[in-house]
Amino acid sequence: MHSAPRLVDLHLHTRYSDGSWTPAELCQAAARRQLAAIAVTDHDTVDGIPEVLAAGQAHGVEVLPAVEITCRVNTREVHLLGYFPGATWQNPELHAVLNHAKRVREKRVGAMVAQLNELGIDLTTAEVLAGSPCGTVGRPHVALALRQRGVVKSVEEAFDRFLKSGKPGYVERYRMEAAEAIALIKRAGGVAVLAHPGLGQADDAIHNLVQQGLAGLEVWHCRHTPTQIEHYRALAERFHLLVTGGSDCHGTVSGKALLGTVPVPYECVTAIHQKAQ
């Protein structure tokens, strides 16, 4: 009789960025789903890692410290997942760069609020920041504030009317080059993985990213089709890259949560640890 495979979820968010769950709630949910390990990849911050590590220990779930860094290839936005086995996530340079990214995000929110004010929308930066009491802020928090104000009925409406590129509340922001982010992750002792490549149409950049130190591809993702999964698995084999995956869960949405819905084998965690050595 074969035992059930040990599964993991290596792409998750908490309230430290744009997720709705606390680290404790996330780890409780992971334990209920019998996940062997998780990685919390909050956007441009590792501030929540101490709380996640403690919660994981309390609920018997292995936690791999991680981050999702917003960056670019030329003018195209891409996201890199940095996985940091052991205590490597405490690297001072990593913290300094991410703290700068946090300040850039806050300035961008202020600029978006100013543009919305010019449209006659009564909104303050403080209201937006209140939606993320312990983490980084971004457009989702502006959207939530607009919904709470009654300006829109949903987050989706806020993006469609005000916050998407080209809309009146949109503000461009600085993103480091992907090569810089890869180098930063490597210097900190981490492993750099390209997040959800099927969503960003970045296939033509993968070869160069590999030459710059990219270590893996996120093959399994909630929005990757079976065809894309096989495509990126083949690309990973071609370039001798790690394969990882995750649900990209941001908490409970419409009564459902994606946590653990993308089956990812525990061997991915083992491979990350081996690569980081």
What is 99-163's CATH number? 1.10.150.650
SS (H, E, C) the chain: CCCCCCEEEEEECCCCCCCCCCHHHHHHHHHHCCCCEEEECCECCCCCHHHHHHHHHHHCCEEEEEEEEEEEECCEEEEEEEECCCCHHHCHHHHHHHHHHHHHHHHHHHHHHHHHHHCCCCCCHHHHHHCCCCCCCCHHHHHHHHHHHCCCCCHHHHHHHHHCCCCCCCCCCCCEEHHHHHHHHHHCCCEEEECCHHHHCCHHHHHHHHHCCCCEEEEEECCCCHHHHHHHHHHHHHCCCEEEEECCECCEECCEECCCCCCEECHHHHHHHHHHC
pTM: 0.90
Q: Is the pLDDT of residue 118 over 70?
A: yes
* Topology annotation, domain 7-98+174-276: TIM Barrel (3.20.20)
pLDDT on residue 130? 83
Statement: residue 133 has pLDDT above 80: no
Mean pLDDT for the chain overall: 93
Q: Does residue 147 register a pLDDT over 70?
A: yes
Task: Return the ∠ at Cα 90 (arms to 249 and 128), rounded to 5°.
Answer: 50
**Mean pLDDT across the stretch 68-87?**
94
What tens digit of pLDDT does each residue of 207-237 get? 999 999 999 999 999 999 999 999 999 999 9
Q: Domain limits of the chain?
A: 7-98+174-276, 99-163
pLDDT at 3: 61
45 near 17, Cβ under 8 Å? yes
Query: Angle at CA 269, nearest 5°, toward 268 and 275?
Result: 90
Burial of 104 from C-beta contacts in 10 A (0-12 / 13-18 / 19+): middle
pLDDT given at position 207: 95
